[in-house]
Amino acid sequence: MTVRTKVGIVGAGPAGLLLGHLLNLEGVDNVIVEARSRDYVENRIRAGLMEQFATDLLREAGVGARMDREGLVHEGIVLRFGGTSHRIPLTELTGKRVTIYGQHEVVKDLIAARLEAGGQILFEASDVSVHDFEGGTPSIRFRHDGRDHVLDCDFIAGCDGFHGICRPSLPEDHLSAFDRVYPFGWLGILAAVAPSNDELIYASHENGFALATMRSPTVSRLYLQCAPDEDAGAWSDGRIWDELQTRLTDDSGFVLNRGPVLQKGVTAMRSHVVEPMRCGRLFLLGDAAHIVPPTGAKGMNLAFADVRVLSRALAAWYRKGETKGLETYSDIALRRIWKAERFSWWMTTLMHNFDTHSPFERRMQLAELDYLTSSPAAATTLAENYVGLPFT
């Protein structure tokens, strides 16, 4: 069975769904092909911190109502080291805020909006492959509901993540890959308990890094630095809570709220970028093109930034036949991506313990943390990057 559309989108994560929604608003037909089930993508727990541009983008697209009702707006973060807490006043320094709203909630909102508008999402598609994107007749082939399908299109958007099929389908000599694998991971838990603090706490401790964040007023998300191959099952709930309390303690007598652990797992830490993010009529977006360690909270935000750039370029092509946006997509997206990669790498290097670090290097971390929390100029640099750099 052969179907024709303007833009074929591989992947129904945040990038693919938002791109499809924005293109629909511009009158550009598109079809989304997704390997997983709707239930899987709607309940896949991922990032939850959104830069102001990302929340503004959802509002402008008409899908921000539930986010505005349920999202938690933050105007600062806490850096904790040497047993002392230091608040970085993000809004005071930048005029911008960040919002805690789970990625899976964003996905639910976008799926609901797309289906209400009559848009197509083909869930549980198998044997997905992309073809002829280096020429003028790209297509996506797949099996769905027991039948073979061909989706002919003008362009293909590869929004299928780091383990998807789009990036590996590009010619080997076309891409340059840049990679940094960190010698630690995060042991994370999702717990049915109210957050212990109104804002995120980033803690640097002799035992390793810890992060206290949240998903809602009644659900907390917490992380511990661990070995990259750590067995999460070897950690009892009590042991995790005790270690979190140790690493998050400060001289104010901070006491961590404890509750039932809903999920437990280990997250690998890496930085990864491929260049360019375009090959002919195939464009890479989000995790298909870049990965950041979660320390800087940039993953979903970078995906949305890619979508913002490409959706406008495609709209201009269909409205006026303009090609400049498509030709410069990769360069424009990568400029912001590399700055976010730098910030995420810097935050990760600053806050974590490395087995290779000497006592001197540990002292350098503490000295930099002291400088960050005592210099308005240094704190502003952190805040500007944390809330999101401008599009220029």
Give the Cα separation of 196 and 204 in Å (integer): 17
- Single out the catalytic residue among 14, 21, 101, 202: 202
Calculate the dihedral angle through the C-alpha atoms of 351, 353, 359, 361, rounding to the nearest 10 degrees: -50
Is 298 catalytic? The answer is yes
Is 386 catalytic? The answer is yes
- Single out the catalytic residue among 144, 205, 298, 352: 298
User: Rounded to 5 degrees, what are φ and ψ at 291?
Assistant: -130, 140
Strands, E assignment, 176-328: 176-191, 201-204, 210-216, 219-226, 261-275, 278-279, 282-284, 290-291
Structure tokens at 84: 């002392």
What is the layout of strands, in order, in the sheet containing 278-279? 120-122, 30-33, 7-10, 155-158, 282-284, 278-279
Structure tokens at 303: 């995906």
What is the layout of strands, in order, in the sheet containing 72-74? 49-50, 98-100, 72-74
- Single out the catalytic residue among 182, 318, 329, 386: 386
Give the Cα separation of 338 and 335 in Å (integer): 6
- Single out the catalytic residue among 294, 318, 329, 352: 294
Is 290 catalytic? The answer is no
Give the Cα separation of 292 and 269 in Å (integer): 8
DSSP class of residue 296 equals: G
Helix, strand, coil abundance in the chain, percent, nearest 5? 40, 30, 30
Residues with a catalytic annotation lie at 74, 202, 294, 298, 386
